[in-house]
Structure 1
């Protein structure tokens, strides 16, 4: 764990990549892949519940101590995390503890700690994914034309980034799209917006399109219809929606519709030629997508509808996406930091 001494041949080139979310942190011991391997070789991987630890330093220390065969000397960490870095501290609305880069360096004896936006990392990872790691959500539309690629994902919040081809490589533009104002697309959604505005005039899109957002939709619908709320977490709402609970089912279908609308807006804004939805809550509710107006709302953008009808959308289901993305970005950019 200490930066003292020199790495042995067995540990040279190894570093830690971490994907820090509001609910879980995923950590990997990684290196660049060799001949016949994937671009990123994941030597060890573990998932942590953020609430079980007082901070990221403790999570990383636990991972290093528990790594199979020992992690060896670790000098560098690449962190994918929602938010922005200000004065060496990550500004993030969904974490219960602060990510301080100087504290990580001091606590773990690190030489280098680099941070990348979580969906910037996901955009880097998307180009490393095997087709078997994703599900096509646009039947009959799968060809990816040259151009920008949008990567988006509803988890604890809503993240998005755009990967743009540039000079023989790619440039990834991070966004804070989840904080843009929610735009309702139906009379029912206007009622939901009015309910949510009781907490404040600005209702960010991620207050609906995220795990907590599904709960917000459900609670708003119950309030509108004058019925008690019986569930307070996304998994429970999804479970009873499958059992036929009307309020829960409407909440999940509304979530899918709003997600489609948001993706369509961002695709038009970025001129995206493909969309990858990066995990989050969606794998748990993907069976509802076909029952919802997800695709109709995604494509219902006036004159741009014919363009969006040719837009392939894939759901990536790989628990290591953020770790692989952070590692890929680190290997591409470490020499410039």
Structure 2
């Protein structure tokens, strides 16, 4: 690793932040470290802790890119589920890097597409042939929900930010109608994220059955064949398929759809049995049209870090 290419990349989730070193577009997997957000006052504290642990000098870092779970506008972001503000000024308090970038976490995942090993991609729906520059779509389910398109142009890759988790739940799913009032957020709005997220599984199960179960418990109960858990999981997957199909029609990602995030990976074994493909393609007279979009699950937990490094290498 040379001093001219040493970068620091970070992925801030709702609970933990992962930090690593990168040489150009390549993340050093052995340098990845994880920090609990609740134990730190902000990203500056996390980066300083990382530098202290690794013994790397702040002056040696020539680029820094931070991906965060929240909206980013003009290089300034506030996390949706954490009271941290992220901007160049905050990063400059601990680093003097020449290249600095702040991305939404799904933007970072978008920049990673094409740099993920085949072993870290599980095909859910086969991808028909498409031009290598065809639009792609990343959909993430974890602490929250979001999605963003990926465009490869002559000027480089463009991954616009989005807050897709805060659109309304689809009216086409009849099973949701009697329980919508129980799926509203703090503002009284039934958004997609109130179902398609970690806490969303819990919300959905309680609305359907009146009992409180964490997402991990619902999944475990599904594995045992528990009837209530299967109903919850099946509706969850149906909503995911419907929403993913809506997003596909909005962005026309003929280059493929990539599902990411911890909740996505946890539900992957159930997507087929719970009817993901049917829900995804059930779009009336456009149902046959939907067969043009392939869907894969990304199992690489460090993809956002790879996306940060890749983005920095092209600045």
- Shorter-chain TM-score above 0.5: yes
- Judging changes above 3 Å, is the alpha-carbon distance between structure 1 residues 313 and 88 closer, same or farther for their aligned structure 2 residues? closer
Structure 2: 5+ residue stretches without partners: none
Counting only pairs closer than 5 Å after superposition, residues 132-281 of structure 1 correspond to structure 2 as 132-138=119-125, 141-146=126-131, 147-167=134-154, 169-197=156-184, 199-223=186-210, 228-229=211-212, 231=213, 233-273=214-254, 274-281=256-263
2:4 to 1, 9, 12: 12
Corresponding residue number in structure 2 for 1:286 = 268
In 1, Cα distance between the equivalents of 2:165 and 2:303? 19
The equivalent of 1:29 in structure 2 is 21
Is 2:287 aligned against 1:305? yes
Map of 2:297 onto structure 1: 315
Cα distance in structure 2, aligned partners of 1:318 and 1:24: 16
Q: Deviations over 1:53-84 (max 9, x none)?
A: 222122212222222xx324224320111333
Deviation at 1:207, TM superposition (A): 1.0
* CA–CA separation in structure 1 for the residues paired with 2:268 and 2:185: 30
CA contact (8 A) 1:218 1:251 kept: yes
SS in 2 for 1:247: helix
Offset at 1:144? 4.2
Q: Is the partner of 1:174 in helix, strand or coil?
A: coil
Structure 2-normalised TM-score? 0.90
> Residue 42 of structure 1 corresponds to which residue in structure 2?
28
Rate the CA distance shift 1:122–1:303 in 2: closer, same or farther, 3 A.
same
Task: Summarize the Cα distance change of 1:144–1:81 in structure 2 as closer, same or farther, 3 Å threshold.
Answer: farther
Alpha-carbon separation, structure 1, partners of 2:118 and 2:36: 29
Q: What secondary structure does 1:102 align onto? A: helix
**CA-to-aligned-CA distance 1:90-143 (integer Å, 9 cap, x gap):** 1232124333542331144555532012111111101211211100001xx233
The offset of 1:165, in angstroms, is 2.9
Gaps of 5+ in 1: 1-8, 33-38
C-alpha change, 1:326 and 1:247, in structure 2 (3 Å) is same
CA distance in 2, matches of 1:88, 1:282: 28
For the 8 Å contact 2:10–2:18, the answer to whether it is kept is yes
CA contact (8 A) 1:278 1:316 kept: yes
> CA separation in 2, counterparts of 1:144 and 1:279?
26
3-state SS of paired residue (1:281): helix
- Following superposition, which runs of at least 4 residues in structure 1 exceed 6 angstroms of deviation? none
Structure 2 counterpart of 1:80: 67
Cα RMSD (Å):
2.2
**How do 1:62-141 and structure 2 match up within 5 A?**
62-67=49-54, 70-72=55-57, 73-85=60-72, 89-108=76-95, 112-138=99-125, 141=126
Are 1:144 and 1:312, in contact at CA under 8 Å, matched by a contact in 2? Answer: no
